[in-house]
């Protein structure tokens, strides 16, 4: 299971469905000037048809816009795959973290009004915020660029004695932080005298004509939302073609990801970005504010090897053009926004399910097609769709691996596929990259197979070991140690922990090769302050601490301030 809060999913309890093979396309809107782009629609639709089939997506909404306005709205697939009810263009989709760019614009408006100093310590505005930054003051600039160094646990911690603590000096490193943007929602309220929901409606929605959008997600808008889906078994890895079930309604009012919108309204938002901050009634933010919004303040490799982060939005390069982009991952929606601000074209798409990915390929292909037609150049080729079972280097992982107690694992390679052979049955694995593979089989789906090289610093060195949860196997090429020690108290930490919030779900702690690990994938390291730090990213600020040892087992842990409880289940 992914170890990012934005992708955790809880266990669902409704009947499962499999996405059907039928497909629906509806063009709901085409602008007056769409003639120069119309020749691209068929190739775009065909790509999206194949993309959704490949990704097992139930339905999708899409809008394309340029500086002149909305050029096309199209819907694909189903809001309800069971009844084959098509996605409708007036249905709301939760845009997730794309909300962060709206929040940034509101704060930059307040900066333009001399109500906010972006370099002033944020505690001077919000003295109630429980943080401990021993490395220096944290400013709004740091929060907007995900460089505060704070963990991303819940804003208001249940433990009255607990504070959010910085892991390094603010401004030095990028680490994505939802909590920082939730905090800035309250900063808007402190400076503007009204909640973020009212401020963004008055300051962004109304000037742009986004009359269908909602600033918060509550039960009041459920009838307007597209029916939405999530993993049928959300306490473990979700395979590409896994079962889905209808997701529960959630309530999100914090500014890190609270907006629900329609494709038409998001097209108006794209048009504003394509026009460098100008709306139909004038500028939404000043030229200076736009410069800060779209400036690449810090490298953000989480968004890609060439990406940086501005204020609430990623800043990237595609060929020779600057792209402003962001994704949004919700409990049961996945969204992507990309705007080529040099060509003045962009696209937004959202899928009514959370399956661990964002619809970036359709959005990127859409604005590339628009740019090519605007420039009267050859249309680009559609992005390559890769099967989850394709493993070009499958032969490198094939062979027999043995554990210290004599158990064996066998892997076979054929036609660029890797299979695990279990009790005489061959199970084709799904490639997660970096030597990690999922087995879509009920006896193996709680953990991933994680292969290791003889020399992790040399990608050409041979594969010599494989881990699956707590289990460890080696082949004849392995030459390292075979016995490993770990502190005895760690035995109390091993087990399955849950938080029933749909955002959190399950994590499993194991010990393998003398290391305490989350889900057998991310090593934890005991820090001097008594908490375990994540080691998957040098600048990861998240932490874990264990509590309430009973019967030799920890009954509770805190993950960056969020409580998880032990459950007696595998």
pLDDT band for position 36 (cuts 50, 70, 90): confident
Kindly state whether residue 122 falls inside one of the protein's structural domains.
no
Kindly state whether residue 158 falls inside one of the protein's structural domains.
no
pLDDT digits (tens, 9 = 90+) for 123-180: 999 999 999 988 999 999 999 999 999 999 999 998 888 999 999 999 999 999 999 9
Indicate if 453 and 563 belong to the same structural domain.
Answer: no
The predicted pLDDT at position 19 comes to 59
Q: Tell me the CA end-to-end span of the chain in Å, nearest whole number.
A: 14
Indicate if 346 and 289 belong to the same structural domain.
Answer: yes
Q: What is the mean pLDDT of residues 519-541?
A: 93
pLDDT digits (tens, 9 = 90+) for 452-487: 999 999 999 999 999 999 999 999 999 999 999 999
The predicted pLDDT at position 18 comes to 55
Indicate if 466 and 559 belong to the same structural domain.
Answer: no
Indicate if 559 and 470 belong to the same structural domain.
Answer: no
Indicate if 284 and 400 belong to the same structural domain.
Answer: no
Indicate if 208 and 303 belong to the same structural domain.
Answer: yes
Structural domain ending residue among the three candidates 474, 508, 533: 474
Indicate if 440 and 506 belong to the same structural domain.
Answer: no
CA distance 550 to 530: 20
Given a cut of 90, whether residue 6 has pLDDT beyond it is no
pLDDT band for position 31 (cuts 50, 70, 90): low
Kindly state whether residue 73 falls inside one of the protein's structural domains.
yes
The predicted pLDDT at position 244 comes to 96
Q: What is the mean pLDDT of residues 13-39?
A: 66
- Residue 461 sits in which domain range? 394-474
The predicted pLDDT at position 141 comes to 98
Kindly state whether residue 13 falls inside one of the protein's structural domains.
yes
Nearest CA to 118 out of 152, 144, 150 is that of 144
CATH classification of the domain holding 406:
2.40.128
Structural domain ending residue among the three candidates 318, 341, 374: 374
Given a cut of 90, whether residue 493 has pLDDT beyond it is yes
Given a cut of 70, whether residue 22 has pLDDT beyond it is no
The predicted pLDDT at position 8 comes to 27
pLDDT digits (tens, 9 = 90+) for 378-429: 999 999 999 999 999 999 999 999 999 999 999 999 999 999 998 889 999 9
Kindly state whether residue 177 falls inside one of the protein's structural domains.
no
Given a cut of 60, whether residue 263 has pLDDT beyond it is yes
Mean pLDDT of the chain: 93
What Å distances lie between residue 47 and 52, 270, 316, 362, CA to CA? 9, 22, 23, 8
Indicate if 461 and 433 belong to the same structural domain.
Answer: yes
Q: Of 18-32, 187-201, 475-489, which range is least confident?
A: 18-32
Indicate if 341 and 319 belong to the same structural domain.
Answer: yes
Indicate if 402 and 350 belong to the same structural domain.
Answer: no
Q: What is the mean pLDDT of residues 92-97?
A: 98
What Å distances lie between residue 512 and 70, 237, 285, 467, 524, CA to CA? 54, 19, 53, 8, 11
pLDDT band for position 20 (cuts 50, 70, 90): low
Query: Taking the model in full, what pTM does it have?
Result: 0.93
Given a cut of 80, whether residue 13 has pLDDT beyond it is no
Structural domain ending residue among the three candidates 341, 374, 407: 374
CA distance 568 to 570: 7
When divided into structural domains, the chain yields a total of 3
Nearest CA to 145 out of 11, 12, 273, 297 is that of 297
The predicted pLDDT at position 205 comes to 98
CATH classification of the domain holding 340:
3.40.710.10
The predicted pLDDT at position 160 comes to 87
Kindly state whether residue 145 falls inside one of the protein's structural domains.
no
Kindly state whether residue 389 falls inside one of the protein's structural domains.
no
Nearest CA to 342 out of 35, 99, 41, 66 is that of 66
Q: Given phi > 0 = left and psi -120 to 50 = alpha, else beta, which region is 234? A: alpha
The predicted pLDDT at position 28 comes to 75
Kindly state whether residue 165 falls inside one of the protein's structural domains.
no
CA distance 350 to 358: 8
Indicate if 355 and 453 belong to the same structural domain.
Answer: no
Q: What is the mean pLDDT of residues 358-376?
A: 96
Identify the helix (H) or strand (E) that includes residue 55.
helix 41-55
Indicate if 500 and 450 belong to the same structural domain.
Answer: no
């Amino acid at each position: 299971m992914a170890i990012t809060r934005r992708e955790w999913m809880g266990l669902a309890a409704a009947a499962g469905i499999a996405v059907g093979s039928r497909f629906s396309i509806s063009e709901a809107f085409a602008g007056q000037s769409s003639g120069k782009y119309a020749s691209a629609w068929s190739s775009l639709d065909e790509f999206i048809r194949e993309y959704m089939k490949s990704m097992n997506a139930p339905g999708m909404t899409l809008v394309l816009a340029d500086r002149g306005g909305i050029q096309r709205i199209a819907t694909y697939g189903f809001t309800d795959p069971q009844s084959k009810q098509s996605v409708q263009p007036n249905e709301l989709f939760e845009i997730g973290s794309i909300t962060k760019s709206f929040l940034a614009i509101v704060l930059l408006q307040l900066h333009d009004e001399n109500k906010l100093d972006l370099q002033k310590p944020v505690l001077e505005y919000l003295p109630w915020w429980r943080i401990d930054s021993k490395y220096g003051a944290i400013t709004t600039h740091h929060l907007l660029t995900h460089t505060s160094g704070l963990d991303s646990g819940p804003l208001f911690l249940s433990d009255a004695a607990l504070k959010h603590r910085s892991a390094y000096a603010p401004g030095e490193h990028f680490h994505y932080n939802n909590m920082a943007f939730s905090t800035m929602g309250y900063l808007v309220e402190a400076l503007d005298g009204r909640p973020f929901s009212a401020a963004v409606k008055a300051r962004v929605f109304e000037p742009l004509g986004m009359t269908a959008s909602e600033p918060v997600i509550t039960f009041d808008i459920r009838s307007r939302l597209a029916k939405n889906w999530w993993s049928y078994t959300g306490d473990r890895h979700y395979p590409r073609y896994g079962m889905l079930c209808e997701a529960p309604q959630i309530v999100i009012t914090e500014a890190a990801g609270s907006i629900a919108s329609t494709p038409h309204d998001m097209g108006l938002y794209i048009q504003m970005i394509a026009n460098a901050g100008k709306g139909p009634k004038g500028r939404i933010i000043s030229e200076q504010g736009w410069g800060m919004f779209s400036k690449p303040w810090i490298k953000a490799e989480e968004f890609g090897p060439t990406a940086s982060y501005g204020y609430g939005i990623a800043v990237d390069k595609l060929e020779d053009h600057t792209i402003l982009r962001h994704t949004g991952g919700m409990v049961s929606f996945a969204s992507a926004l990309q705007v080529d601000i040099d060509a003045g074209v962009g696209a937004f798409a959202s899928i009514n399910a959370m399956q661990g990915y964002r619809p970036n390929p359709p959005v990127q292909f859409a604005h590339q097609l628009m740019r090519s037609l605007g420039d009267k150049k050859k249309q680009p080729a559609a992005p390559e769709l890769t099967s989850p079972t394709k493993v070009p280097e499958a032969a490198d992982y094939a062979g027999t691996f043995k554990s210290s107690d004599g158990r064996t694992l066998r892997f076979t390679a054929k036609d660029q596929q890797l299979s695990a052979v279990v009790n005489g049955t061959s199970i084709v694995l799904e490639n997660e990259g970096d030597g990690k593979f999922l087995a879509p089989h009920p006896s193996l789906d709680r953990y991933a197979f994680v292969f290791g090289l003889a020399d992790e610093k040399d990608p050409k060195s041979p594969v010599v070991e494989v881990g699956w949860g707590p289990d460890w196997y080696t082949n004849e090429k392995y030459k390292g140690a075979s016995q490993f020690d770990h502190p005895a108290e760690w035995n109390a930490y091993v087990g399955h922990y849950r938080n029933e919030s749909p955002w959190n779900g399950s994590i499993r702690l194991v010990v393998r090769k003398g290391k305490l690990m989350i889900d057998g994938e991310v090593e934890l390291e005991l820090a001097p302050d008594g908490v375990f730090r994540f080691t998957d990213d040098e600048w990861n600020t998240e932490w874990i601490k264990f509590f309430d040892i009973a019967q030799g087992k920890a009954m509770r842990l805190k993950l960056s301030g969020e409580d998880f409880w032990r459950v007696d289940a595998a």
